[in-house]
Structure 1
Amino acid sequence: RTKRRFNVNLFTKKFYYVEQDCWISLNISAAGLRYINKVGLDAALNSAVAKGYCDWNNIKVIA
């Protein structure tokens, strides 16, 4: 038998962050992408930072 691994379904996506008027790049899972579509980018980022999933320093701003 071989050990089966369940990896996270990650994407590198670019989003337009309206509140900051810039493009950002995020490594995000498929579930995170659905959550952003549901509540919006700003609410999802604030929720992720509040829960400790990411830090504002980890978010790449694309000029």
Structure 2
Amino acid sequence: MMRFNFEGPPVGEGDMSAECQRQLLPLVREIVQAAVASGWNQDDVLLAFVELTWDLYEKRRGDL
């Protein structure tokens, strides 16, 4: 089971997006590596992440 240990967001003038990406990168890499080890194509997995996150973003926008 994966554990998520996010640190709090940056305070003040911090780059929110860069900090979130920094914290997510190890998790995404681990998922992609596991998928590739199971026979998935790395490009397909990465593209699936893009599509999934865009769908989540669009659904959130619809909730506003």
Q: State the TM-score, normalizing by the size of structure 1.
A: 0.27
Q: Indicate the structure (1 or 2) with the bigger Cα radius of gyration.
A: 2
Q: State the TM-score, normalizing by the size of structure 2.
A: 0.26
Structure 1 or 2: larger strand share? 1
Question: Greater relative contact order (Cα 8 A, min sep 6): structure 1 or 2?
Answer: 1
